[in-house]
Amino acid sequence: MMAIDAPRSLEIIVDGEVVAVDDETATLLDVLRAVGKTSVKDGCSPQGQCGCCTVLVDGQPRVSCVTPVRRVRGREITTVDGIDAADVDRWIDAFAGTGGSQCGFCTPGIICRFEGLRSKGASHDDRDAAADSLLAHMCRCTGWQPIVDAWVAFPTATGVVRSETASERAELEGGSAQSTNPDVAIGRGGFADDSAPADALVAVLDAVTGEWVVAPTRAEALRLAGKVQGRRTTAEFSPPIEMPEGDWVRTLRTSWTEPGYLETDAAWCAPGGEPISPLENGGAFGGKVDSEVGVVARRLADEHGRPVRVLFSREDVACRGPKRPPLAAGVRADGSGIVRVARTAGIADVITAVGPGVEVEEVKVAGPPTSAAIRGAGWLEMAVLLAGLRGHVGWITSPGGGSATASVSEDGSIDVRVRCGLPLDETILRSYCIGAAHMGLGLVTSESLGVDTNGVIHDLTVRSFGILRAVDTPSITVTIEPDDGPPVNGSDAVMAAVAAAAWLARGCAQDWPTG
């Protein structure tokens, strides 16, 4: 009779090295992160919808957060770190040269996807093939076009030298310090969770009690917390605030929307130390300004006497993260009117700074927290309403000082002009402006978050936020107008100008999203 062997570790091959795995219930993502492959990012686990954790399994792209490690026993796993060095260097140059990577959270997975596309012999002149391959991915920063440009540029990409002031431009546009080193494209942007000590405890929120559950690993913490995959609702929800009565020339009602940043809130702290900020490489469009994870990391590290990583899931971001304040507004021909907006600290000031003739009524609305720090919150909608009164976009100036105008052609393509002082680095500025144009268009046409009248959020997946996909994004042309003034933020004005142009092109329909 054959003896029964003791249980043996499962083995996989990661970037040419054999890795033994004791926990067969773990996901491939958890295993890769545990062995130091921080280029593999977690943006929605276990939803499998953002593509940030994409790797190659025997040469074919696969989303690792929904892949049980037992299903890849003995197989070759290639992360962006294991791709041929010459090809990686060329991808770095392609993304840097086109502005295809801003924060760099999504791009390691996209590069793996593009490597899979290359293995199929796809032409680098085929932009449609590249856009189709991106259906498995999300990017919030770039507006997709620079990423597709990187696919086209790959065969001839050469070394890119960044201007000394590139980081200054990135910080102006992103709202926080951001690395512009070319290797950001392969995930080396310095994200908070990537720098945590290997022996750090992990804290996640309990799905029922809302208390923090601490465990030695993320997988164990998730099991103890009872985390389950979020869902997307099929129900329809109307904008939450009723229109004020009046003889309005233009009216606008907006829905709940999600900032949609891909790196979920994360921080870590050592006992007695200062927490690593969740804003380590990107501003999250204002969504992480008051994130609780840093404070929690410090408290838990002191309690446990060990470093602690504190992580939001995608569902936590949807439920606890601040949203753009929804509003309902009417304006008369002279610019006077009423704006009803969800009660939010500071929101009245930013609205009346753009529309001094309106009266702001802050109202209590059941729903998630709101913040005036969300990109363009309040003042963008007011600027769009005033453009609707004029019947044309004109030049829109943002609180950050930059100005922009935009138009939408009959074929849907978007033309943008921007003035924001010295460009500092035109590639980076153009990338941010294209990303802002994508965001402004989506805000008007497609983005919403399902929240019922009791304030319960029903859209908990990253795909349910309505962010425009690469295949849905029209051509965007950005012209940087000569301006010798001091450099100021330009992309916020672009977002507002494109939103205004998109709204005018759709007949100034009252409710956003217009569809």
Q: For the residues of 152-219, what is the DSSP string, one character each? A: HHGGG-------TTHHHHHHHHHSS-----GGGGGT-S--GGGGS-TT-EEEEE-TTT--EEEESSHH
In the chain, residues under CATH classification 3.10.20.30 are: 10-189
pLDDT at 3: 37
Tens of each residue's pLDDT in the chain, 515 residues: 333 444 557 999 999 999 999 888 899 999 999 999 999 999 999 999 999 999 999 999 999 999 999 999 999 999 999 999 999 999 999 999 999 999 999 999 999 999 999 999 999 999 999 999 999 999 999 999 999 999 999 999 998 888 899 999 999 999 998 899 999 999 999 999 999 999 999 999 998 899 999 999 998 999 999 988 888 999 889 999 999 999 999 999 999 999 999 999 999 999 999 999 999 888 899 999 999 999 999 999 999 999 999 999 999 999 999 999 999 999 999 999 999 999 999 999 999 999 999 999 999 999 999 999 999 999 999 999 999 999 999 999 999 999 999 999 999 999 999 999 999 999 999 999 999 999 999 999 999 999 999 999 999 999 999 999 999 999 999 999 999 999 999 999 999 999 999 999 999 999 999 99
Q: Where in the chain is the domain with CATH 3.30.365?
A: 327-505
How many other CB atoms sit within 10 Å of the CB of residue 38?
A: 18
Say how far apart CA 348 and CA 143 lie, in whole Å.
30
The pair of structure tokens assigned to 462 is 């990253």
Domain 10-189 in CATH 3.10.20.30 = yes
Q: Name the one residue in this structure whose structure tokens are 């309040």.
A: 378
Question: What letter represents residue 164's amino acid?
Answer: E
Residue 6 has a pLDDT of: 41
Strand runs labelled E in 298-432: 308-311, 327-331, 337-342, 358-363, 396-397, 403-408, 414-419
* Distance of alpha carbon 176 from alpha carbon 281, whole angstroms: 8
Residue 265 sits at φ, ψ, to 5 deg, of -55, 130
CATH architecture of 327-505: 2-Layer Sandwich (3.30)
pLDDT for position 1: 31
Closest CA to 192 of 311, 109, 96: 311
pLDDT at position 8 is 58
Residue 5: per-residue pLDDT: 46
Contacts of 152 by beta carbon, 8 Å cutoff, 6+ apart: 124, 125, 127, 130
Q: How far apart are CA 114 and CA 111, in angstroms?
A: 5
